[in-house]
Structure 1
Amino acid sequence: MFRQLRIASLCIFLSAGAAVAQEFWLLPPRFFVEAGAKINLHVFVGENFTGSRWPGKPTRLTSFVHYAPNDTLDLTKTASQHDTLSTSVELVRPGVHLLAFSTTNSFVELDAETFNTYLKANELERVTHLRQQRGETSKPARELYRRCAKTLVQVGPSRLDTVGTHAWKTGQPLEIIPEQNPYSLKPEASLTCLVLYQGTPLPATQIQIWQRVTGQPTRVSRFHTNKNGRVLFRLNGPGNYLVSSVYMEPAADRKAADWQSTWATLTFGIAGRGMK
């Protein structure tokens, strides 16, 4: 009986660890639409840029903002006023539209082995060192985690984007900002992204990039930001792209949790020839 309870507890811990380590992203039905299109933006959670619809309740939403060319629409109240989260967005003006979505904290407690593996997988060495200094390496960890997701949608021809909406700062706790407009780049061009935490560039931070093309295995690459919080990577042809990062620090209230993590993603599409 005791052994069965231990196995059950381990399964719960591993399942919780996997849930925390999963990515969280926004995915429109199409990244390229005509002016006036109305879309239902999908919120996904999973691994390897494949997943399922996020089951989160409207109360988990802290902000949902639509940055359109020359206009900003706060959709938070509209999206969360019903029992079911509403993510319907109307894309009226031509150009790049930026949609930003943030959640409240969730709590999870992980056993030492699961948490240490999680830190290693995401290259969160600073937290590993702090746990060593505190003598906590063999102790469970209590974590608060929140999500910040952004997506870019091209409305109409890409040549009509003149206001740089793609690079607007949203004020999310952790955000990934593309410094070039992905929709004006060729499929084999390079893209620079700036990673900010609380508005400050994050150096030496792992960035993961997934590329998904229908009918092909998902490709993943890993890079690190430089001392200025920037990362440069090459686009490997057409497809849907997901860029992600995570930052963890000691929790402000040690009674509530030991650690606070913040996850961020950015999604966009790169079209093949003749699609722009």
Structure 2
Amino acid sequence: MQYRLFCSILCSGLVFGAMPVLSHEFWIEPEKYQEVSGAPVVARLHNGQAFNGAEQPYLDHRIARFEVMQGGAAAPYMGRMGDMPAFTAEMPRDGLAVLIHQTQPQTLTYDTWEDFQAFIDHKAFGDIRTRHQDRRLPDAGFSEQYTRYAKSLVAIGDGRGSDAATGLETEIIALANPYTDSLAEGLPVRVLYQGKPRPQAQVEVFAKAPDGSVAVTTRLTDAKGETVVVVTPGHSYLLDAVVLRPAPDGKDYVWESLWAALTFAVPAQ
């Protein structure tokens, strides 16, 4: 057991250390997005690309917040070091459960500008290089701090309820319930940053089919920070939206990225 725990911690550190250079996402993936009343909900933490990636253990020193929200009330979740899956808990009542996970900030150093530019281009941040040069920053050897804000929607029993703002610095809110509402016109979502709608934000949409294949598209939020995601019954989804901002003065890193993720499934018809 001690050896397995050591390997989990070591491997997790290696995976986390490389992910932002490759624009890796971080998300919560339940074993079942719809669970019967009284059964425990089991969910895994993942990071990777295209809705496929390495499973991460429960590591309390990497967690800033881990909660379950039902009916507007949030309860903290406490796991055991090295747990994989990272989340296993019984839900107190039927309805929509929102799993919430915020990581502790971590930093990485870019050895070349090309690595950072690939991240900028992938997330459609625009002309960051001019802003970088205006701050008289080097083109290589500079650091970025990144923090992950992940949510997942799980239906317990009847699955009734709604997603809502949870107080994360950035987050994606589902404006309809994917398990109980009609999604014929798609799933409307809102992107928030510091509690306010984030206009003109890129939302990357990863749609996983029952056979495991993944299609990737992007949407842009409107002036209200909203967009509509076209969905297909029987698919699961990962939505991703990233904020990039200059670091405060006096830090040993020069940029900060804040990664919002939302996972859910659309029931098969």
- TM-score band by shorter chain is 0.7 to 0.9
Deviation at 1:182, TM superposition (A): 1.3
Identity score, percent: 25
Q: CA separation in 2, counterparts of 1:255 and 1:128? A: 19
Q: Does 1:235 align with 2:231?
A: yes
Q: 1:187 to 1:63 in 2, by over 3 A?
A: same
Q: Are positions 1:195 and 2:197 aligned together?
A: no
Instruction: Give the CA deviation at 1:18.
Output: 5.2
User: 1:187 touches 1:237 (CA, 8 Å); kept in 2?
Assistant: no
Query: Offset at 1:128?
Result: 3.4
In structure 2, relative to structure 1, the CA distance for the partners of 1:33 and 1:125 (3 Å cut) is: same
Structure 1 residue 179: deviation in Å?
0.9
Q: 5+ unaligned residues in a row in structure 1: which ranges?
A: 1-11
Aligned equivalent of 1:220: 216
TM-score (norm 1): 0.83
Call closer, same or farther: CA 1:199–1:54 in 2, change over 3 Å: same
Tell me how far apart the structure 1 counterparts of residues 142 and 184 of structure 2 sit (CA, whole Å).
Answer: 42
CA 1:87–1:117 in structure 2 vs 1: closer, same or farther (change >3 Å)? same
Larger Rg: 1
Between the two proteins, the alignment pairs up a number of residues equal to: 251
What does 1:80-159 align with in structure 2 at a 5 Å threshold? 82-85=80-83, 86-110=86-110, 111-125=112-126, 127-136=128-137, 138-158=139-159
Deviation at 1:55, TM superposition (A): 4.9
What one-letter code is carried by the residue in structure 2 that aligns with 1:87? Answer: F
1:24, 1:43 within 8 Å by CA — same for their partners in 2? yes
Whether contact under 8 Å (1:20, 1:145) holds in the other structure is no
**Equivalents in 2 of 1:251, 1:26: separation in Å?**
27
2:232 match: secondary structure: coil
Specify the code of the residue in structure 1 equivalent to 2:109: E
Q: RMSD of aligned C-alpha atoms?
A: 2.2
- Offset, 1:108: 0.3
Whether the 8 Å contact between 1:211 and 1:218 is mirrored in structure 2 is yes
The one-letter code sitting in structure 2 at the alignment partner of 1:233 is: V
2:219 match: secondary structure: strand
Q: Distance in 2 between matches of 1:191 and 1:179?
A: 7
Q: Counterparts of 2:19 and 2:73 in 1: how far apart (Å)?
A: 39
Segments ≥4 residues shifted beyond 4 Å: 17-20
- Give the distance between the partners of 1:74 and 1:126, measured in 2 at CA: 40
State yes or no: 1:44 paired with 2:39.
Answer: no
Q: Which moved more, 1:23-32 or 1:250-259?
A: 250-259
Q: CA deviation at 1:68?
A: 1.6
CA drift at 1:270? 0.5
Provide the C-alpha distance between the structure 1 equivalents of 2:44 and 2:165, rounded to a whole number of angstroms.
22
Distance 1:84 1:27 in 2: 17
- CA offsets, 1:30-89, max 9 Å, x none? 0011111112320000000011112573201011111123642122xx23xx43255222
Q: 231, 244, 253: which is aligned to 1:257? A: 253
Judge conservation of contact 1:180–1:191 (CA < 8 Å) in 2: yes
Letter in 2 for 1:138: D
CA change 1:19–1:44 in 2 (3 A) is farther
Shift of 1:28: 0.8
Q: 1:132 to 1:236 in 2, by over 3 A?
A: farther
Structure 2 length as normaliser, TM-score? 0.85
2: CA distance, partners of 1:255 / 1:187:
45
Matched, 1:53 2:58: no
Q: Taking structure 1 as reference, are residues 106 and 240 closer, same or farther at Cα in structure 2, changes over 3 Å only?
A: same
Pairwise CA distance, 1:135: 4.6
State the distance in 2 between where 1:20 and 1:173 align: 23
CA change 1:157–1:204 in 2 (3 A) is: same
Distance in 1 separating the partners of 2:138 and 2:198: 25
